[in-house]
Structure 1
């Protein structure tokens, strides 16, 4: 992201307050500055210390407590906010804001802010459907306040109906859209490959690699959040599939990955190939478990199909992005891959560097294009790396359409 954004989160008193912890955590992982204001009743459900630890900022709950800085606190927070989120929002707080009442730190700060305000209600179905509450919601919508609609389901009180706090993914998505705009990739069809491949030796054993799929899933998630139609082709991972994915194709071997990519290639505008594809597979598969014997065991390996190279042969006007995870000769290997696989650019990372590579939430990358231009990026979250990759894909696609 070009500039670090700030979100002020108001937490109201309701059982769903614990889910606000996950919202704070997710936003922090997206490199967003978070400040939390709690109502007094919210402190009965979750301690301020919890939010203070997650946000790494002081939590404000009492208008009259000794200030942590010499700023007028509610004005200072109102000015800091790029987006203001209230989660969970109770009928009480929604009603106070709609009526212009500012009698605590949360409502006072909301009144003072010029930032976009997003409200995520959570309450009993009867309360939510009460015409007074609905009138207050409609009134606030007319004033430009945004709402993340509550879900239907079993509520904490035991009732079933609408009023359950929206999914955390939907809330985070709404905040992201407010901060950065969610439609800059709208209309673009992007296919992302992710995770490892698995090559069977026998019914028990197989050859694979250390890829967790985190980089590919981050790219898919960010692309969805920015409005793209995303097809995710994934090897076996333990990662939750991002909400909003248009199509998910699960694969195992390099051959099945190739078939899936080939099948979906025609309809995509860009193919981002972050999957770690095995270069070799056992030449002969044993239908029975290979039994242990005295001495060593040799397994003859055969080359797998080079998926990126095959797609490069039929590239046409599509944007192709490759990855190079190396332990040595990073630049030489990456540049060779660009040429041999007909890539527009490649994302290269040195697996020997701390914080880069497999099974981490961060990465350190170099991006090299087909003309040999290279940009170095420091340690950052994989989601930030994903945005950089998507920015470059967008730029290339827009150039083609001029």
Structure 2
């Protein structure tokens, strides 16, 4: 989504400026063309040389640029940008921008551009809660003249705790990706399975696994953000239901297959099987709790239905994406599943790695399809979900120009 996008990053004076370096690195890694503008205050916290090295372009700091065409560098930059992101946006910058002032390069650019301007506030919690700051933010929202990303809540550099922290670099990156991906899946219906299944042994016991559902839920949010109509079919997890997503709770693999088949019957353009479905279930499930008696107990297991293979075998098959959570020979097993199950794409990850196991906040995967693959290094599951949805969108030929 960001390849070739022209993004102007404005940095104002604040300790959070150090985070902007990582934010720019993420943008560059995604293929965006980045220019950086720094206020005088920003240069007290991070050097222009650092931002130039990361962006690969000269950093702009002065209003009148004698090296620019006709000395009107601010107008050239204002016309160049597809998006302006001010991160961090100090209380001083917000006040000046709200008042329509143009007394430095950054405020001038924000007034002169026709591109969207995103504001990522960063300040002390008392400054953020001050009535004047809140009035300024209210005016920006009311005028619809800026996108507001943040602030976050937590411990601040001064030791205070509360609202005012700039969002983390990955959160800002996800916001940029969402901005450019909005509508790319408009009119498409995406069905996603997530979490574990529980296979009953008796009315109080079950066989399950350690899946947290975090990857599937992140994918549901990313698909929703891309404009899709999303149904999330989820096994039992301790996660909030994403807003704007149809939620279908299930327990067993048989329940999940029934829900998936019913959902695909209604219409499905993309099916993503992110759930960790139990391979087997007890053949017999007594109506009453099994009492402890003998030292050993044998439970006969039978194979569960293969949900993703069942969907991929349909005549009206949607673009079908599977997951291969393995502990050894990860790529080899994934390639085998891709072919055997007639999948359009499979996402392989090594769940033996504790950094990216079932309950982790991060993941690293290799995405495979017929004749191609792409690897994603360790990153948050929310960031990875956006990258995966982008890739699925491209492979399914839903990309917008």
**Shorter-normalised TM-score: what interval?**
0.5 to 0.7
Q: Distance in 2 between matches of 1:281 and 1:110?
A: 63
Q: Distance in 2 between matches of 1:388 and 1:256?
A: 30
C-alpha distance 108-239 of structure 1, shift in aligned 2 (>3 A): farther
C-alpha distance 368-186 of structure 1, shift in aligned 2 (>3 A): same
Q: Distance in 1 between matches of 2:332 and 2:173?
A: 39
Aligned to 2:392: 393
**CA deviation after TM superposition for structure 1 residue 64, in Å:** 10
CA deviation map 1:360-402 (0-9, x unaligned): 2222222222x3533333323323432343233223432899x
Aligned to 1:378: 377
The equivalences for 1:251-400 within 5 A come to 251-266=250-265, 267-369=267-369, 371-398=370-397
The equivalences for 1:156-195 within 5 A come to 175-176=175-176, 179-195=179-195
C-alpha distance 196-238 of structure 1, shift in aligned 2 (>3 A): same
SS at match of 1:364: strand
SS at match of 2:397: helix
**CA deviation after TM superposition for structure 1 residue 219, in Å:** 1.0
**CA deviation after TM superposition for structure 1 residue 316, in Å:** 2.4
Q: Distance in 1 between matches of 2:372 and 2:223?
A: 24
**1:98–1:139 CA contact under 8 A, matched in 2:** no
The equivalences for 1:2-401 within 5 A come to 32-33=23-24, 63=41, 68-69=46-47, 76=61, 82-84=84-86, 96-101=96-101, 109-113=106-110, 116-118=116-118, 141=144, 144-146=145-147, 175-176=175-176, 179-245=179-245, 247-266=246-265, 267-369=267-369, 371-398=370-397
CA deviation map 1:139-169 (0-9, x unaligned): 954xx54468xxxxxxxxxxxxxxxx9xx9x
Q: Distance in 2 between matches of 1:379 and 1:116?
A: 30
**CA deviation after TM superposition for structure 1 residue 195, in Å:** 0.6
Gaps of 5+ in 1: 13-20, 35-59, 149-164
**CA deviation after TM superposition for structure 1 residue 312, in Å:** 2.0
Q: Tell me the C-alpha RMSD between the 2 structures.
A: 4.8
C-alpha distance 205-319 of structure 1, shift in aligned 2 (>3 A): same
C-alpha distance 75-117 of structure 1, shift in aligned 2 (>3 A): same
Aligned to 1:158: none
Aligned to 1:162: none
**CA deviation after TM superposition for structure 1 residue 185, in Å:** 1.8
Q: Distance in 2 between matches of 1:378 and 1:174?
A: 16
**CA deviation after TM superposition for structure 1 residue 108, in Å:** 7.5
C-alpha distance 88-280 of structure 1, shift in aligned 2 (>3 A): farther
SS at match of 1:192: strand
**CA deviation after TM superposition for structure 1 residue 236, in Å:** 1.2
Q: Distance in 2 between matches of 1:351 and 1:133?
A: 44
C-alpha distance 262-377 of structure 1, shift in aligned 2 (>3 A): same
SS at match of 1:232: strand
Deviates more, 1:107-116 or 1:324-333: 107-116
Q: Distance in 2 between matches of 1:75 and 1:400?
A: 33
Aligned positions, number: 337
